[in-house]
Amino acid sequence: MSTPLVIAISGASGSGKSLFTENLLKEFSDDGKPVQILREDHYYRSQDHLPMSEREKNNYDHPKAFEHELLVEHLEALKNWKAIEYPHYCYKTHTRLEQTEHLISAPVIIIEGIMLLANEALQPLFDIKIFVDTPLDICLLRRMKRDIAERGRTLESVANQYESTVKPMYHQFISPSRFTADVIVTQGGKNRIALDVIKSHIQQSLL
């Protein structure tokens, strides 16, 4: 049996990574090809030991906020057709959930997240590296709507976090990581041509 193909999808928060991933997944679900999806956000470090007031102050846009060591271990296991105990994370309480999910490997593994291309230890595990490149003002507007609707945040907290960590860390870590990508996707999660090109490359690799 051949080694699973691992596709990393990165870019700023609100750039359209999740939508692009969902749309790519649909392409393969329609064709009946098994695909497994992972999210880097699930690997945010557990903060059970900290009070809520401290958790709220954390810099979630620094590479150290993620347990990338565990993600490396999990991707290596999946590449060897082994199952993993996939962590789950809660944005409202800023910590890991107690329950994990038993996840089996698949011929295509897609992982999406902001810091994937900024971490050297992860690079050898990726077969295709994609960067979703969306202007930051559009990312901010999308993030505002989403974080207020889905992640229990206020307009003020989103704006403060954006100025203090999201924007500076984007310029320090995420934006430079685009140069390690194989493909840069403009127009966010709905770029039909990018989806077709990537789908066809994956199909060729699976032959």
Ligand X SMILES: O=c1ccn([C@@H]2O[C@H](COP(=O)(O)O)[C@@H](O)[C@H]2O)c(=O)[nH]1
Ligand Y SMILES: Nc1ncnc2c1ncn2[C@@H]1O[C@H](COP(=O)(O)OP(=O)(O)O)[C@@H](O)[C@H]1O
Q: CA-CA distances (angstroms) from residue 36 to 19, 44, 60, 107, 165?
A: 15, 19, 25, 8, 31
Pick from 4, 87, 107, 189: which binds ligand Y (CB under 6 A)? 189
> Rule CB under 6 A: which of 26-65 touch ligand X?
41, 44, 60-61
State in angstroms the smallest separation of the CB of 60 from ligand X. 4
Residues paired with residue 37 on neighbouring β-strands, in sequence order? 110
The entry of ligand X, ligand Y, none that residue 72 binds, CB within 5 to 8 Å by partner kind? none
19 vs 106, beta carbon nearer ligand Y: 19
Looking at residue 127, its amino acid is D
4 vs 130, beta carbon nearer ligand X: 130
DSSP 3-state of 86 = strand
DSSP 3-state of 58 = coil
State in angstroms the smallest separation of the CB of 100 from ligand X. 18
Euclidean distance between CA atoms 97 and 165, whole angstroms: 24
Residue 19: enclosing H or E segment and its boundaries?
helix 17-30
Residue number with the smallest Cβ distance to ligand X: 13
DSSP label of 2: P
Check binding of 107 to ligand Y (CB under 6 A): no
Pick from 42, 45, 74, 94: which binds ligand X (CB under 6 A)? 94
Residue 110: enclosing H or E segment and its boundaries?
strand 108-112
Residues near ligand Y (CB under 6 A): 11, 13-19, 142, 146, 187-190
Residues near ligand X (CB under 6 A): 13-14, 41, 44, 60-61, 91, 94, 114, 166
